[in-house]
C-alpha cells in the first residue's frame, strides 16, 4: 500500500476536508507509466460502447427490447468508466492522493449510480431472455413499449432513490478513523467504514449494497434456472445450443460484473488473509473490465450487431446503376 505524506489524523466531530486514495498496487513509486494503458483502456471502452450506441440508435430494425437494454448497458458502461477516471488519472499523472470530501462524495455518487444502473439493466436483460425462451409465443405481448418504459422508470427511480441520500448522510457523519481509503476512487462502503460506529450512514450504505448487489445476482441466477429447465425439455441438442447461444453474451457479462464482487464479499466474510494489492485488483476488475469487455462480447456473440458493424465499416460503392 502507498504511504502518504501528512496523513489525516482521526476526526471525531465532522467530515474530514480530504480523503486519501491508494494508488495502483506496486506502482506508487512510478505512477506515470501506467497512464498510457489507463487512457487506452478508457478510449477503447468509449469507442466500443459508442459504436454499440451508434448502431442501435441509427438502425430502426434494432429498436427491440433486447437491443434497447443493450443500449442502456452501454450507457451505464460509459458513465461508469467516465466517473472513475478523474481520481485514476490524478494518481497516474501526478500522484495526487488527496481528494476533497465534496469531490470524493460526488465521484462516489456517480460511480454507484452507474453501477446500480448496470446491475439493474443486467437484471432486466435476464428477464428479457427468460421471457423469450420460456414464453416465446407471449413474448411480444409481455414486453411491449409501455412495459419497457415502466422498466426504465423503475431503473431510474432505483438508481436515484437509493443513492441520493448517501452523500448527504456521509457528509454529516463523524469519522473516528484516519480518512485513508482502500481504493483509487471513492466508494460508499469504503467511506462508511471510516465513520464512527452507530451512524445511520453506515447502516444505510449496507442496506444499499444488499438491496442491489445482493438481490440482483440471486434474481438473475434464478431466471437462468428457469431457462435451464426449459432448455432441458427441448427435443434436440441443436435446439438447446441455439437457444443457449442467445444467452451467452449476457451470461458472460453477468459473470464478469458480479464474480469479482462476490469473491471480495467471500474474502471479507471468511476473513481470508490475502494481500491488500490483490483485494484492490479485484475491485479494478469489477469496475474497469466490464466497460471494456462488454462491447466485444456483444459484438462477437450477437449476429445482428456484428453484421451491422461490418456493414457500416464497409466502404460504399459508388457507380451508375446498369
Question: How do residues 307-321 score in pLDDT, each as one tens digit?
Answer: 888 887 777 655 554
Residue 21: is its pLDDT beyond 90?
Answer: no
CB 18 within 8 A of CB 98: yes
| Neighbouring C-alpha atoms within 13 Å toward the C-beta of 221 | 9
Question: How do residues 253-276 score in pLDDT, each as one tens digit?
Answer: 999 999 888 887 777 667 677 777
Which residues face 112 on adjacent strands?
none
| Neighbouring C-alpha atoms within 13 Å toward the C-beta of 160 | 6
Residue 233: is its pLDDT beyond 50?
Answer: yes
**98 Cα distance to chain centroid:** 25
∠ CA(44), CA(284), CA(157), 5° rounding?
85
Which residues face 19 on adjacent strands?
99
User: Once rounded to an integer, what is the mean pLDDT over residues 168-185?
Assistant: 81
pLDDT band at 13 (very low <50, low <70, confident <90, very high): very low
* The three three-digit cell numbers of residue 74, written as one number: 452501454
| CA distances (Å), origin 279, targets 81, 86, 95, 186 | 20, 21, 21, 15
E strand or H helix at 105: helix 101-134
Q: Is 46 exposed, middle or buried (0-12, 13-18, 19+ CB in 10 A)?
A: middle
pLDDT band at 2 (very low <50, low <70, confident <90, very high): very low
Which residues face 265 on adjacent strands?
none
| pLDDT confidence of residue 7 | 45
Residue scoring higher pLDDT (119 or 234): 119
- Percent of the chain surpassing pLDDT 70: 85
User: Once rounded to an integer, what is the mean pLDDT over residues 127-151?
Assistant: 90
Dmax over Cα atoms in the chain, in whole Å?
A: 83
Q: SS3 for 143?
A: coil
| CA distances (Å), origin 243, targets 58, 133, 230, 317 | 27, 7, 10, 37
| CA distances (Å), origin 1, targets 25, 27, 29, 138 | 7, 10, 11, 55
Which residues face 180 on adjacent strands?
20
| pLDDT confidence of residue 9 | 42
Q: Which candidate, 268, 294, 293, places its Cα nearest to that of 279?
A: 268
Residue scoring higher pLDDT (286 or 1): 286
| pLDDT confidence of residue 16 | 57
When the pLDDT of each residue in the chain is averaged and rounded to a whole number, the result is 82
User: Phi first, then psi: what are they for 195, rounded to 5°?
Assistant: -75, 160
Q: SS3 for 74?
A: helix
- Whole-angstrom Cα distance, residue 278 to residue 280? 5
DSSP class of residue 212 equals: I
Question: How do residues 68-126 score in pLDDT, each as one tens digit?
Answer: 999 999 999 999 999 999 988 888 777 788 889 889 999 999 999 999 999 999 999 99
User: Once rounded to an integer, what is the mean pLDDT over residues 229-247?
Assistant: 76
Amino acid at each position: 500500500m502507498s504511504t502518504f505524506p501528512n496523513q489525516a489524523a482521526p476526526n471525531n466531530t465532522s467530515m474530514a476536508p480530504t480523503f486519501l486514495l491508494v494508488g495502483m498496487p506496486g506502482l506508487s513509486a512510478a505512477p506515470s507509466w501506467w497512464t498510457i494503458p489507463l487512457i487506452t483502456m478508457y478510449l477503447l471502452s468509449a469507442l466500443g460502447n459508442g459504436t454499440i450506441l451508434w448502431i442501435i440508435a441509427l438502425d430502426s430494425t434494432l429498436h427491440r427490447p433486447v437491443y434497447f437494454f443493450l443500449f442502456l448497458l452501454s450507457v451505464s458502461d460509459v458513465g461508469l468508466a467516465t466517473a472513475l477516471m478523474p481520481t485514476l488519472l490524478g494518481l497516474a499523472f501526478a500522484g495526487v492522493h488527496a481528494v476533497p470530501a465534496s469531490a470524493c462524495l460526488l465521484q462516489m455518487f456517480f460511480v454507484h449510480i452507474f453501477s446500480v444502473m448496470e446491475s439493474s439493466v443486467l437484471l432486466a436483460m435476464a428477464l428479457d431472455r427468460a421471457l423469450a425462451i420460456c414464453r416465446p409465443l407471449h413474448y411480444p405481448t409481455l414486453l411491449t413499449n409501455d412495459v419497457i418504459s415502466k422498466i426504465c422508470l423503475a431503473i431510474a427511480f432505483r438508481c436515484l432513490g437509493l443513492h441520493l441520500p448517501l452523500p448527504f448522510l456521509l457528509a454529516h457523519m463523524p469519522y473516528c478513523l484516519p480518512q485513508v481509503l482502500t481504493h483509487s476512487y471513492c466508494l460508499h462502503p469504503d467511506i462508511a467504514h471510516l465513520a464512527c460506529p452507530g451512524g445511520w450512514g453506515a447502516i444505510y450504505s449496507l442496506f444499499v449494497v444488499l438491496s442491489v448487489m445482493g438481490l440482483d445476482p440471486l434474481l438473475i441466477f434464478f431466471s437462468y434456472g428457469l431457462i435451464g429447465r426449459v432448455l432441458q425439455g427441448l427435443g434436440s441438442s441443436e435446439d438447446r445450443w441455439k437457444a443457449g447461444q442467445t444467452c451467452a453474451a449476457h451470461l458472460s457479462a453477468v459473470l464478469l460484473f458480479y464474480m469479482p464482487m462476490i469473491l471480495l464479499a467471500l474474502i471479507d466474510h471468511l476473513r481470508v488473509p490475502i494481500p491488500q494489492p490483490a483485494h484492490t485488483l479485484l475491485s479494478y476488475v469489477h469496475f474497469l473490465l466490464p466497460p471494456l469487455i462488454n462491447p466485444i462480447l456483444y459484438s462477437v456473440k450477437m449476429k445482428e450487431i456484428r453484421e451491422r458493424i461490418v456493414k457500416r465499416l464497409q466502404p460504399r460503392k459508388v457507380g451508375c446503376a446498369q
